[in-house]
Structure 1
Amino acid sequence: MKTDILIIGSGPVGATYARILSEQKPHAKILMIDAGPKVSDKIGQHTKNIADPKAMETAQILSQGPKKTPYPMISVAERAMAVQRGELSADILARAGTHLVLDQIDDIKNNEMPSISMSTNIGGMGIHWTCACPTPGNDEKITIIPENEMSKALAKAREILNVTQSAFPSSPESEAILNILNQTLGTNHAENRQAQPMPLACKTDEAGNRYWTASDVILGNTLENPNFELRSETICRRLVIGKLVNLEIGKKTENTNNNYLITNDQFSITGAEIEHIHSGKKETVEAKIVIVAADPLRTPQLLWASGIRPKALGHYLNEHPFVFTFVELDKDLVKKHSKNRKSEIENRKSNDPTVGVFWVPFDAPNHPFHGQIMHMDLSPMKTTIEETENGILSDSNPKSQIVNRKSIVGLGWGCLKESNFDDQIVFSETEKDYFGMPKMNFKFQYTDNDLASIEAAKAYQKKVVNSFGKEIKDGGQTLMPPGTSLHYEGSTRMGAENDGESVCDTYSQVWNFDNLFVGGNGVIPIPTASNPTLTSVALAVRSCERIVQIL
């Protein structure tokens, strides 16, 4: 078949490309494919928007690739402590809605990113994410893009994602949490970088019901465009390269580690070999523009499998270290730091225990960390002292009451990790993964500077914890095992020039190719401590400017 635009990957970034290009070029044919299945009635919706708990669990299981049973519901701290004890298993390391890249226990033990995971479904990991969209801090900014252009792209990304800081209602607990955080942080910070509600990709209605942003929201009216087609359970095996000029793909030379030379020669992707996973049906799609936005792991994997192997591909793999701990919010502190009014959380309708998310922004040098604070109400929504006549509890039932309420605060602190060429994805020439693509292994080491940053993050987090009270027993400060954050960057990094240290330019166009673009967190060229999705969507917005010019 023929199409104008082929998009590989249906997560937030792929959906952004589809939406903008559909709006800008409504008559262009767009084909989007994803290796994963449709997991709910509504295409690409966030699992937190699925009201039926059983249907939500089914959606998570369908996203888990080879793992077709529920993962044990253990906390991130329990998971990390199990790893530290050497209790490595595929069950412990993954989380609901994701599956480990390394699904064999020997591979897990022999790799330096044991928890590295992905989701395989329509909507990608975007149907499972926390929706946190913090604005990058000073040292997290991509300086090779003019600041005014990046600010404009970030603003558009917020609009696409429906970013708000009002997803959760104010409560005495939230007031206390923010007051305590800001007292600890102090006043020595940049403008608007004080502790505040986390910017979240979410819409609320007049009744306060939340609808979390995922690919369904991002795509919007794109799904109604007759020129747009979305295929599930369809994998791209290889990109077909044409128009080779004085260049042999796969040839190595003595003066470079590249699999092709750094030259001004231009190439085109003439098509893509795709396969429907269940039926095995294969076909070649001809496309004018190809966008690979699979994820930071499978995007470089596809390029590598296609013989597109620039020196930087899969290298400079980065993920911020993340330290997590839990405290029980002291009720006396709530009274001290907030107005005396009834807590909003007592009237919550959702089964989701999260009732507030807060942000301590990255702001070097005063606070060179990213703080993400989760307020969780771990008491049952309703309970009763004795049985009712029909066993049903309701607001009108006078015997229904809330007892043993516990407000738990989870405090996560991330710091920058130095970017290094040797932190990398290693693709196998012979072995295949679960999907029949080149098997991936991982090299990832903390430098002395990284270890010092981690200790500094721990010390600052401990300072915050002491302001709240005491850590929960068995929920103490823990450095999460590499791969846990799911925020993988750098594997298809952008650069200002084609010098072998990057895969694409600042418009996400792959060097030496006139119609190949890459998208996702892997494009981010610098270390960050904050959640990267907002930046990745902004980079896709900017990339569309170039694509519209080409079409």
Structure 2
Amino acid sequence: MSSFNVDVVVVGSGAGGSTVAGRLGQAGKRVMVVEAGPVRFGTPGLHARNLDVSEAGMLEYAKVVMNEWVFPCSSSTPVEGLPGFLVSHGVGGSFSLWCSNAPSPDVSELPKWMDPAQWAQYFAEAARVMHVDPDIAKGGVRAERILAATRAAVTGLPAGREVQPMPIAARRVDGKLKYTSSDDLLAQATDGVLPQVLADHVVRQVLHVNGRASGVVAFPRQGGDPVVIHADTVVIASGTLAAAQLIHASGIDAGPALGRNLLDHPILSTRVVLRPEILEDVPAHDPIFSIWVPHSADHPWQTEVFRFPQTPAAGTRDEDGADITTFVAMDENPDNRISFDSETKDAFGLPQVRVHLQHSLADTQRISEALAEHYRVSAAVGDITRGANFMMYGVGGSAHLMGSCRMGPENDGTSVVDRYGQLWNMDNVFVAGNAVLGSSNSSNPTFTLVAAALRTADRILDLTQAL
């Protein structure tokens, strides 16, 4: 049995894990990131879209995405109760495949106990480290025409949350777009100690005694002797399902909220051919477009018009199409939950799970109201006379599953971690990623989870420096 000794071990290399690892490495901490999948795309954590950022490269990107999305543990069947839920096992996780839309949350999407002013610096820092730019597509012919059409279709939104260009996590490097992923967040540590990445290893146990962890045990994905990683701090950032599984498998007392309060985004999606007046005289190298109808208190859903990595409608050029996607907020409900079967193991050696996640009557009403806007936007930008490919994703299909390790202000049984992501009953175990986001919302959660993960990393630094 081999072993490593580090300051911090991070389980998972997606947005949450790479944020914490890079931030701590920047401060000089020795960090090891453990990932269940392999290094992909030539560079640890590189975004698949960066393989070819041209418009023609969208089709290849789509092929990669469809190949990399799998059921958890690369199973041939979905998790019971989550027919639409897919993950990606590889360095960078799903963050290496995401669509790069990075909307800022409305105050109504944040926990009621949270003082937004306390988080303002972390949202600003998240925008910086993710290279979020609302103007990256500025000047595009299609973008400006789609923006105008969408503004005409959706009115009456509050100031600051009107229809606008979507902030996109991308920047120009040597004249080409580079989409942000885990490689960028790990690179926070360039002037410090770069995190080590242990790929193709599954963490099955957090070692702990008397409320304090001493490391983790990881098993090679292809078989072989386990690896023990001794660490002063453990960060679990392996996704909403897997984070809860690991905590349960390790026998950690996380209280009654573990696995409860699951949230998803019911998602409506329509593929259209853009209207002739939008496509007229579009230049050959027209920039990308992504238009955003934001969430607000009286508008608890968001709609996006952009290019999704999927096969275009038959008979059209790929660049003539657009996807209208609406994410709808769900009610918070502790009965939407994960159940653990400790006697049965999944392919990763963790407790088998099943999920109960249903829409409430209020959710159904909200979805129906969002659907009306969804159609108006589709008709405003799309040539509906040619038809449209509409679908509603299965439960879990948004790839935004959240809440299994819900964050809260006090240890009252309704949350798993405190406001910094630390497990209530553990001195040195933290959770990062979608798992901690437990308030009703509809904005893509990546930007918010990165802000939360930066705050978690700073909390770890404060605690370790105080020792």
Asked whether the two chains share a fold, i.e. TM above 0.5, the reply is yes
Name which of 291, 295, 301 aligns with 1:369: 301
Work out whether 1:190 is the aligned partner of 2:158.
yes
Distance 1:325 1:295 in 2: 27
Distance 1:444 1:216 in 2: 33
Letter in 1 for 2:259: G
Identity level (%): 26
Structure 1 segments (4+ residues) deviating >4 Å: 102-105, 223-227, 375-380, 403-406
Distance 2:120 2:183 in 1: 25
Distance 1:471 1:201 in 2: 31
Name which of 71, 86, 99 aligns with 2:70: 99
TM-score for both structures, normalised by structure 2? 0.89
How far 1:3 moved relative to its partner? 1.7
Other-structure match for 1:280: 224
Cα shift readout 1:170-229 (whole Å, capped 9, x = no counterpart): 23322211111111222x32222121211111012463x211111111111536755732
**Higher mean Cα deviation, 526-535 or 270-279?**
270-279
Gaps of 5+ in 2: none
Q: Would the alpha carbon gap of residues 416 and 376 (structure 1) be closer, same or farther in structure 2, given more than 3 Å must change?
A: closer
Distance 2:432 2:368 in 1: 33
Letter in 1 for 2:305: I
Aligned runs of 1:402-417 on 2, under 5 Å? 407-417=320-330
Aligned runs of 1:97-496 on 2, under 5 Å? 97-101=68-72, 108=78, 111-186=80-155, 188-205=156-173, 207=175, 209-220=176-187, 222=189, 225=192, 228-243=195-210, 267-308=211-252, 309-332=254-277, 342-344=281-283, 346-347=284-285, 355-365=288-298, 367-375=299-307, 407-468=320-381, 470-471=383-384, 475-496=388-409
Distance 2:382 2:235 in 1: 49
Q: Would the alpha carbon gap of residues 100 and 405 (structure 1) be closer, same or farther in structure 2, given more than 3 Å must change?
A: closer
Distance 1:288 1:154 in 2: 28
Equivalent pair of 1:355/1:377 in contact (CA under 8 Å) = no
Distance 2:390 2:132 in 1: 30
Cα shift readout 1:264-314 (whole Å, capped 9, x = no counterpart): xxx111221222223512132221111001111111110010012421111
Distance 2:200 2:289 in 1: 36
Q: Would the alpha carbon gap of residues 29 and 511 (structure 1) be closer, same or farther in structure 2, given more than 3 Å must change?
A: same
SS at match of 2:272: strand
Distance 1:457 1:148 in 2: 30
Distance 2:425 2:309 in 1: 53
Aligned residues: 454
Equivalent pair of 2:265/2:398 in contact (CA under 8 Å) = yes
Distance 1:326 1:491 in 2: 32
Distance 2:348 2:382 in 1: 48
SS at match of 1:504: coil
Distance 1:286 1:541 in 2: 23
Equivalent pair of 2:20/2:453 in contact (CA under 8 Å) = yes
Other-structure match for 2:434: 521
Equivalent pair of 1:36/1:234 in contact (CA under 8 Å) = yes
Q: Would the alpha carbon gap of residues 469 and 235 (structure 1) be closer, same or farther in structure 2, given more than 3 Å must change?
A: closer
Equivalent pair of 1:60/1:96 in contact (CA under 8 Å) = no
Other-structure match for 2:38: 37
Name which of 5, 11, 16 aligns with 1:13: 16
Equivalent pair of 1:274/1:282 in contact (CA under 8 Å) = yes
Q: Would the alpha carbon gap of residues 459 and 379 (structure 1) be closer, same or farther in structure 2, given more than 3 Å must change?
A: closer
Distance 2:436 2:242 in 1: 13
Other-structure match for 1:49: 50
Letter in 2 for 1:241: H
Distance 2:5 2:363 in 1: 48
TM-score for both structures, normalised by structure 1? 0.76
Equivalent pair of 2:107/2:116 in contact (CA under 8 Å) = no
Other-structure match for 1:81: none
Equivalent pair of 1:378/1:408 in contact (CA under 8 Å) = no
SS at match of 1:189: coil
Letter in 2 for 1:192: G
Letter in 1 for 2:282: S
How far 1:538 moved relative to its partner? 0.4
How far 1:235 moved relative to its partner? 1.6
Cα shift readout 1:306-339 (whole Å, capped 9, x = no counterpart): 012421111111101111113322223566xxxx
Name which of 524, 536, 551 aligns with 2:449: 536
Q: Would the alpha carbon gap of residues 202 and 104 (structure 1) be closer, same or farther in structure 2, given more than 3 Å must change?
A: closer
How far 1:152 moved relative to its partner? 1.1
How far 1:49 moved relative to its partner? 0.9
SS at match of 1:166: coil
Letter in 1 for 2:290: V
Q: Would the alpha carbon gap of residues 5 and 104 (structure 1) be closer, same or farther in structure 2, given more than 3 Å must change?
A: closer
Q: Would the alpha carbon gap of residues 211 and 478 (structure 1) be closer, same or farther in structure 2, given more than 3 Å must change?
A: same
How far 1:115 moved relative to its partner? 1.2
SS at match of 1:7: strand
Distance 2:317 2:419 in 1: 53
User: How large is the Cα RMSD of the aligned pairs?
Assistant: 2.9
Letter in 2 for 1:198: M
Distance 2:405 2:75 in 1: 26
Equivalent pair of 1:492/1:518 in contact (CA under 8 Å) = yes
Letter in 2 for 1:371: T
**Higher mean Cα deviation, 297-306 or 144-153?**
144-153
Cα shift readout 1:12-65 (whole Å, capped 9, x = no counterpart): 2111111111222x1x32121111111132111001111399xx99x999xxxx
